[in-house]
Structure 1
Amino acid sequence: MPFQTIQQEKLSQSVVRQIELLILRGLLRPGERLPSERELAERMGVSRPSLREAIAELQERGLLVSRAGAGVFVADMLGSTFSEALTRLFSTHDEAVFDYVSFRRDLEGMAAERAARYGSETDLKVIDAVYRKMEAAHQKRNPADEAALDAEFHLAIIEASHNIIMLHMLRAMFDLLKAGVFYNRQQMFRQRATRDMLLDQHRAINEAIQARDPEAARRAAEAHMTFVETSLSDLRKADKHEEIARLRYQHEMQKG
């Protein structure tokens, strides 16, 4: 008979499994610092030796890193998703930029649809709270805060979709976006009219998700990314026109 004796799991293994799940589900994020050893042991109801054994195993697996004098942190596993050479290649070719936007349009449409369908009440509150912050930041002349919240809004939707693979994949893509690999997000917000339209689009996405209308949420997310694609194309053309105009002006001045 294929039955085996039930063995009690070591406490350290229970700690390992709980921290693994928190990382997998995106509740513990790359770069996030864990509580102190004493506090974490108390929260989890285990001894400090059991906790140390679990932390050591997670460090061996590359999920946690220890920094002298600073504590224990979730490892930045997303940074290795794309090689440095490939990241440089992305940043120097427009083709990669527009493929990135197309990729996001497909996945974010799906994420918005899933958020409207599967997101918990708390998930929806988080999305709405970030959107309200965007509204407040919209009143400021400097678009930096609103541009930063743009990424936070989209990531909140992806988290609410409750698809672990999508979450980690798009987090990696957003890390590259934040680093300016694909385009400068603040550039998108530099014109007031564009900022107004972007806020309207985020409002439409939020309202559809809050109404739990999956189809409307998908359409709103896809329309937003189509607008981003068109705006980026227009910005690229404007930059090229300005470059030609500068050359023409320099030539004119040299003729004296």
Structure 2
Amino acid sequence: MPFQRIEAEKLSHSVVRQIEQLILRGILRPGERLPSERELSERLGVSRPSLREAVAELQNRGLLATRAGAGIYVANVLGSAFSDALIRLFSAHDEAVFDYVSFRRDLEGLAASRAAIHGSDTDLKVIDTIYHKMEAAHSKRNPSDEAELDAEFHLAIIEASHNVIMLHMMRSMFDLLREGVFYNRQVMFKQRTTRDALLDQHRAINDAIQARDAEAARDAITAHMDYVEEDLSNQQKADRNEEIARRRYEHEQAR
């Protein structure tokens, strides 16, 4: 007969499964510190030995890591998405920048439409809250804060799409963006007219998602990324023109 005896699951296995789910769904993020052993065992309702067994298993799987004297952290599992050699290649070629923008336009358009349909009311509140933080940062004319909130806003939309593969892939891509591998977002937010346009675009994205209009949300993302692509192209042309002008000036001074 095809039946097997049902056995009670070890507590440590239940702990492993719960922490795995939190990492998979993006609730526990790479680099995030877990509570102390005492606090975590109390929250989970398990003994410390069971917790230690679960942590050891998750460490062996590469999902958790310890830092001497600092506790247990979620491992930087995103770091393996791209090799160091590929990251250097990205940063050295303009082609990668525009391919990145194109990739984001397609993926985030899909994510925004999914968020409008599948996002919970709380998901939409998170997106709306971050957008209003963007408005506050805009009024203070703080480009670094605006650039950081820009990333948080887009990632919140991806989280609200409830697709874990897309979530982890895009988090990895945004980590590279924060490091300036593709382009410097703060440069965009330092220009007044660009800053105003970007805020208007994010407002349109937020409004469409809050209205649960999937088509409008996708269109708003497309319009936003089209603008980013055009602005980056203009920046590159301006940089090339400045380099030519600088050489002319040096040559004129040397005559």
Please name the residue that 2:236 is paired with: 236
Please name the residue that 2:147 is paired with: 147
Secondary structure at the aligned position of 2:100 is classed as helix
Structure 1 position 62, deviation (Å): 0.3
Structure 1 position 190, deviation (Å): 1.6
**What is the number of residues matched between the two proteins?**
255
Amino acid at match of 1:89: L
CA distance in 2, matches of 1:228, 1:79: 26
Percent identity at matched positions?
A: 77
CA distance in 1, matches of 2:141, 2:130: 19
CA distance in 2, matches of 1:14, 1:34: 17
Please name the residue that 2:158 is paired with: 158
Secondary structure at the aligned position of 1:42 is classed as helix
Amino acid at match of 2:96: A
CA distance in 2, matches of 1:250, 1:8: 79
Secondary structure at the aligned position of 2:5 is classed as coil
Secondary structure at the aligned position of 1:73 is classed as strand
**Is residue 78 of structure 1 aligned with residue 96 of structure 2?**
no
Please name the residue that 1:170 is paired with: 170
Secondary structure at the aligned position of 1:66 is classed as strand
Structure 1 position 140, deviation (Å): 1.8
Amino acid at match of 1:72: I
CA distance in 2, matches of 1:235, 1:143: 17
Please name the residue that 1:227 is paired with: 227
Secondary structure at the aligned position of 2:135 is classed as helix
Amino acid at match of 2:167: L
Q: Single out whichever of 76-85 and 140-149 deviates more from structure 2.
A: 140-149
Amino acid at match of 2:143: P
Unaligned runs of 5+ in 1: none
Secondary structure at the aligned position of 1:177 is classed as helix
The Cα offsets for residues 6-46 of structure 1, whole Å up to 9 and x where unpaired, read as 01100000000000000000000000000000000000000
1:1-256 maps to which residues of 2 (within 5 A)? 1-255=1-255
CA distance in 2, matches of 1:124, 1:186: 26
Amino acid at match of 2:29: R
Structure 1 position 141, deviation (Å): 2.8
Instruction: Give the aligned CA root-mean-square deviation in angstroms.
Output: 0.5
TM-score (norm 2): 0.99
Secondary structure at the aligned position of 1:20 is classed as helix
CA distance in 1, matches of 2:241, 2:148: 28
Secondary structure at the aligned position of 1:226 is classed as helix
Secondary structure at the aligned position of 1:65 is classed as strand
CA distance in 2, matches of 1:162, 1:137: 28
